[in-house]
Amino acid sequence: MKKSWASILTMMIGVTASMPTLAQEDEDLGMLQQQGPSQGDLGDIAEVHVPEGFFFTDGDGSRVIMELMQNPTSQDEMGFLAPTNMEWFLLFEFDEAGYISDDEKDSLDADAMLDSIEEGNEMGNKERQKRGWAPLRITGWQQAPRYNPDTHNLEWAVKAESEGEEIINWNTRLLGRRGVMKVTLVTDPESLLTTLPKSAALLADFAYKRGHQYAEFRKGDKIAKYGLSALVVGGATAVALKSGAFKWLWKVLVVAGVAVGGLFKSIFGRKKG
């Protein structure tokens, strides 16, 4: 596993001499890190507890880290939370899409969503081929989409395979009054089962601030143009692109819905999608 920023950088694809030195990185990140135990502010929208042995950085710090890892940024980053040994991390991004109705909570069709993801992946493979990257094959659900109506959280995980390596994206969506907090867990697939309980414990301490909670919806608030199913089939490509810090996630350009072509164009053009 990755024990330091130096070892993380050596694992990255395409590292060049132009990358910042470790000393420069430590200086940049040291100014932005917040050590636990403390409370991490995700903008003025939400907050998350930072336990002892973990560090947190806000949206600006998250973008510094993503760029050091040679990943596109969305400008939607709100926070980055990780154990100090950086064996895994959570990336928080907020999409101010409006209030997302959970009317679909009892009718989520996992088979249909997986079909859409596979169709999107075929389009994604065409883009991968253009860039000389290995194709990716969707192998099924690690966790079919499930929604908790009490916490208003949606989560799912897609399994894929590329060049004989298993790849898993674990996604959580935390619904709020004015949009959705997108949380990406980045970890080695071999460590997923041991990391998930730790990640879940951190997210149990996540809370929207007053005025931003899902239950505080009021008539006249902005309504999102999509529902729970679209969060699954349309969001995974952006997650993979923006959060693939290590080789097992960097490979996943995927797991998209029918709009994958537009997502590739906007993300690789470094425009906000």
pLDDT at 100: 95
The domains of the chain are located at: 5-268
State the pTM of this model: 0.74
Q: Which residue has the tokens 């995700």?
A: 42
pLDDT at 115: 87
Residue 180: enclosing H or E segment and its boundaries? strand 180-186
pLDDT at 28: 54
Can you tell me the distance from the alpha carbon of 57 to that of 78, in angstroms, rounded to the nearest whole number?
9
Which residues of 119-267 form beta strands (DSSP E)?
A: 137-148, 153-162, 165-175, 180-186, 207-208
pLDDT at 152: 95
Residue whose C-alpha is closest to residue 253's, from 138, 107, 99: 138
- Looking at domain 5-268, its CATH class is alpha beta
Residue 147: enclosing H or E segment and its boundaries? strand 137-148
pLDDT per residue rounded down to tens, the chain (273 residues): 333 333 332 232 222 222 333 334 545 555 568 999 999 999 999 999 999 999 999 999 988 887 776 566 778 899 999 998 888 899 999 999 999 999 999 999 999 888 888 887 787 778 778 777 778 888 999 999 999 999 999 999 988 888 887 877 789 999 999 999 999 888 878 888 899 999 999 999 999 999 999 999 999 999 998 889 888 886 444 334 333 333 333 333 333 222 233 333 332 333 333
pLDDT at 173: 95
